[in-house]
């Protein structure tokens, strides 16, 4: 019996050796995926090494020792894809691997693509390219250089850079200040040998989540689970929780200058709300009203009415209980822009919220929940985030929770939102305005 039309659900299949296996059920997709996440505590001396591992592993394995051979094999499998990367959710670093291929029903002879593709994924995880008790030197050198280039390039996106700097200052001394790819200095300390040691630690001790989505028969799934990473897993690492409660005794103010035309003003707030708290739902509505969309107070008052900002928005970091307000402004408008932004925050605390604002926000959230289910990757991210925070809501029940948020709920949440850090990236005297935003 199939799912109701448009219904998306998740089923836990098994748990063994610190690995949890889930099957995502949806009737919308023509591709089959495996999404695998290894979890580690976000730590400065490990972040760069963890981030480098997917880049090295996806370059090939013992059965396909060159990039050309590996890519040719993927092409033979109807253009299958294997990729990976690093991200952080709160103070947990996720090392991710993704495998996808077209559903078997679209192949010429109904081949069992899942079996072959999952074996290829296991090949890169269990039989990486190794020489002299380290990763293959040529692969390691190229991928470490790529990682360092990426770390250096982040400054080119000034909006993202200013938000990162705001968070680094706001969370100084907390693991969340660490980037999901670490730092250039730490990346330079990596060698083929110590990175291989970290890989073995990941494979053997990091807790992991596996999500299988798309059309796969039960026998193939069971075989995959039975044969998943046979390399002596044990002593599974425990993950620390990301504390969200922090009282702000004094607001930090940081000004930095750079060769930019447009100033970047970032305000960091502590919401004091845990991702799995009932208060999370009014917090999301609060954020939507304040700066989540074109109907929001920030967009309307800072950008449209006062014409002070090229953009003005607020975003949540649900796992760490943070809210960041971002705006791009002319440097001379900094004081006025900050004043209007903080006035909107006060308006929320005072309950100066219209029925139209709250209804528009709820409608936007409902639309967002529906559109999220049109992407396999977004569905995986939703359920993985729920499991990571031990939340039980699915798409439908979460959508209902958003609908049930009242005006009083939003105002109550507003009372506890505290300004922590004000960061301003301002133009220096040499700003030329050529490609520097």
Q: Which helix (H) or strand (E) holds 160?
A: helix 158-170
- Name the residue among 320, 169, 158 with its Cα closest to residue 253: 169
Is residue 283 within 8 A of residue 316, CB to CB? The reply is: yes
pLDDT confidence band for 356 (50 / 70 / 90): very high
Measured CA to CA, the distance from residue 10 to residue 222 in angstroms comes to 16
Spatial CB neighbours of 49, under 8 Å, sequence gap ≥ 6: 182, 186, 190, 194, 195, 198
CATH 1.25.40.10 fits 9-226, yes or no: no
**Residue 251 is encoded by which pair of tokens?**
């607001």
Q: What is the pLDDT of residues 305-324, one digit of tens each?
A: 887 778 889 999 999 999 99
pLDDT at 433 exceeding the cut of 70:
no
Q: What pLDDT score was predicted for residue 122?
A: 95
Q: What pLDDT score was predicted for residue 261?
A: 83
pLDDT confidence band for 437 (50 / 70 / 90): low
Strand-pair category, 208-213 with 19-25: parallel
pLDDT at 436 exceeding the cut of 50:
no
pLDDT confidence band for 6 (50 / 70 / 90): low
pLDDT at 430 exceeding the cut of 80:
no
**Residue 412 is encoded by which pair of tokens?**
């109550």
Superfamily of domain 252-427, CATH level 4? Metalloenzyme, LuxS/M16 peptidase-like (3.30.830.10)
* pLDDT over 90, % of the chain: 80
**Residue 262 is encoded by which pair of tokens?**
């447009």
Is residue 22 within 8 A of residue 211, CB to CB? The reply is: yes
Q: What pLDDT score was predicted for residue 186?
A: 97
pLDDT confidence band for 183 (50 / 70 / 90): very high
Q: What pLDDT score was predicted for residue 1?
A: 39
Q: What is the pLDDT of residues 116-147, one digit of tens each?
A: 999 999 999 999 999 999 999 999 999 999 99
Q: How far from chain centre, in Å, is Cα 394? A: 19
pLDDT at 5 exceeding the cut of 60:
no
Q: What pLDDT score was predicted for residue 432?
A: 44
Measured CA to CA, the distance from residue 198 to residue 140 in angstroms comes to 13
Query: CATH 3.30.830.10: which residues of the chain?
Result: 9-226, 252-427
pLDDT at 282 exceeding the cut of 70:
yes
Count of CB atoms situated within 10 Å of the CB of 317: 20
Over range 41-48, report the average pLDDT: 97
pLDDT confidence band for 229 (50 / 70 / 90): confident
**Residue 92 is encoded by which pair of tokens?**
């947990």
Q: What pLDDT score was predicted for residue 435?
A: 44
């Amino acid at each position: 019996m199939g799912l109701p039309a448009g219904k998306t659900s998740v089923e836990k299949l098994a748990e063994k050796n610190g690995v949890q296996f889930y099957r995502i059920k949806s009737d919308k997709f023509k591709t089959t995926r495996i999404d695998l996440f290894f979890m580690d505590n976000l730590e400065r001396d490990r972040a760069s090494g963890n981030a480098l591992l997917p880049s090295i592993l996806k370059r090939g394995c013992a059965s396909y020792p060159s990039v050309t051979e590996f890519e040719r094999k993927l092409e033979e499998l109807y253009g299958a894809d294997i990729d990976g990367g690093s991200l952080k959710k709160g103070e947990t670093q996720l090392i991710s691997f993704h495998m996808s291929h077209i559903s078997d029903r679209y192949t010429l002879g109904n081949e069992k693509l899942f079996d072959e593709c999952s074996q290829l994924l296991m090949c890169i995880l269990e039989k990486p390219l190794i020489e002299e008790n380290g990763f293959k030197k040529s692969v390691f050198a190229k991928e470490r250089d790529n990682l360092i280039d990426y770390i250096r390039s982040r400054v080119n996106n000034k909006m993202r850079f200013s938000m990162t700097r705001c968070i680094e200052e706001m969370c100084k001394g907390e693991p969340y200040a660490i980037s999901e790819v670490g730092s250039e200095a730490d990346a330079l300390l990596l060698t083929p040998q110590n990175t291989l040691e970290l890989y073995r630690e990941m494979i053997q001790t990091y807790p992991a989540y596996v999500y299988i989505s798309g059309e796969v028969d039960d026998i193939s799934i069971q075989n995959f689970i039975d044969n998943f990473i046979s390399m002596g897993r044990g002593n599974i690492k425990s993950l620390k929780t990301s504390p969200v409660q922090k009282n702000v005794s004094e607001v930090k103010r940081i000004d930095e200058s750079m060769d930019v035309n447009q100033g970047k003003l970032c305000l960091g707030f502590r919401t004091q709300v845990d991702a799995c708290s009932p208060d999370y739902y009014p917090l999301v509505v609060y954020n939507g009203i304040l700066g989540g969309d074109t109907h929001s107070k920030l967009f309307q008052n800072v950008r449209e009415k006062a014409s002070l900002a090229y953009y003005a928005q607020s975003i949540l970091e649900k796992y760490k209980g943070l809210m960041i307000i971002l705006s791009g402004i002319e440097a001379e408008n900094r004081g006025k822009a900050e004043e209007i932004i903080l006035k909107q925050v006060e308006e929320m605390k005072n309950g100066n919220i219209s029925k139209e604002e709250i209804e528009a926000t709820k409608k936007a959230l409902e639309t967002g929940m529906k559109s999220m289910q049109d992407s396999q990757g977004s569905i995986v991210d939703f359920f993985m985030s729920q499991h990571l925070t031990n939340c039980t809501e699915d798409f439908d029940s979460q959508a209902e929770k958003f609908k049930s948020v009242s005006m009083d709920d939003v105002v109550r949440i507003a009372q506890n939102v505290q300004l922590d850090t004000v960061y301003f990236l301002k133009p220096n005297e040499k700003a030329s305005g050529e490609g520097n935003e």
